[in-house]
Amino acid sequence: MDEADVEGDLVSILFTEEQIQTRLEELAAEIEKDYQGKEILLVGVLRGAVMVMADLARHFGRHVEMDWMAISSYGSGTKSSGVVRILKDLDTDITNRHVLVVEDIIDTGLTLSWLVSNLTSRGPASVEICTLLRKPDALQMTVEVRYVGYDIPNEFVVGYGLDYAERYRNLRCVGTLAPHVYS
Ligand code: IMP
């Protein structure tokens, strides 16, 4: 789905498909350099991170494993509830593994702080985070985010995996949702 298919629903396009791919390629190169000689387990957070995971993983020129977790945070609104629940756990035992959490967006960071402490308690060799997008509030997080695609303003965005009420995930670009859609 392109911008034209959701005409009037976006206030602006923040990142085009090309810009997203270029940035993911840069991040993959950086990650490859940092993890030389180490096996990487990419952990994607469903459902928003599906697109980031698929494209980031394919930018690597080496093997990476992938696993998924599903956790609930937002429901169908645009505000973080702060309540985190595991809907689907990892299939992989991460003891002594180098885990790289792949996220679509970090807003308050509540979800991720919870996830990182949950994963850390399982005895991995390391846990790092890679996110395509980060909002300003996330900077107050205690958890350090090693790889960030783009810092964005504090607005509700959709596309490239990010939804509003389960819609817009298949939009190729990332755009700011017009308030009339959710108010
Ligand atoms: P946090 O716990 O506030 O960091 O929220 C993280 C989760 O909320 C993300 O993984 C998204 O699923 C969702 N989220 C946060 N901001 C947005 C947004 O602007 N658009 C769509 N989903 C968002």
The reply to whether ligand 1 has any atom less than 6 angstroms from the CB of 73 is: yes
Q: Find out whether 52 and 23 touch, Cβ atoms under 8 Å.
A: no
Which pLDDT does position 77 carry in this prediction? Answer: 56
Which structural domain range is residue 121 located in?
Answer: 17-153
173 Cα: distance to centroid of ligand 1 (angstroms): 16
Nearest alpha carbon, ligand 1 atom 5: 107
Which pLDDT does position 15 carry in this prediction? Answer: 98
In a domain, 59, yes or no: yes
pLDDT digits (tens, 9 = 90+) for 1-10: 999 999 899 9
Give me the catalytic one of 107, 137, 151, 163: 107
**In the annotation, is 107 catalytic?**
yes
pLDDT digits (tens, 9 = 90+) for 43-73: 999 989 999 999 999 999 999 999 999 988 6
pLDDT digits (tens, 9 = 90+) for 98-142: 999 999 999 988 889 999 999 999 999 999 999 999 998 878 878
In a domain, 142, yes or no: yes
Give the DSSP H/E element, type plus range, for residue 165.
none
**In Å, how far from its chain's centre is CA 36?**
23
Mean predicted confidence (pLDDT) in 26-37:
98
Which pLDDT does position 75 carry in this prediction? Answer: 52
Name the residue of 73, 85, 163 to mutate for ligand 1: max ligand atoms within 8 A of Cβ. 73
38 Cα: distance to centroid of ligand 1 (angstroms): 30
In a domain, 26, yes or no: yes
Place of tokens 């469903």: 46
Band of residue 78 on the pLDDT scale cut at 50, 70, 90: low
pTM of the model: 0.93
In a domain, 48, yes or no: yes
In a domain, 148, yes or no: yes
Domain count, the chain: 1
In a domain, 88, yes or no: yes
In a domain, 24, yes or no: yes
**Nearest to residue 80, comparing CAs of 169, 16, 4, 141?**
141
Task: Tell me which amino acid residue 19 is.
Answer: Q
Sequence-separated contacts (24+) of 81-88 with Cβ below 8 Å: 82/108, 82/110, 84/110, 84/111, 84/114, 84/115, 86/118, 87/46, 88/46
Look up the CATH number of the domain holding residue 149. 3.40.50.2020
The reply to whether ligand 1 has any atom less than 6 angstroms from the CB of 162 is: yes
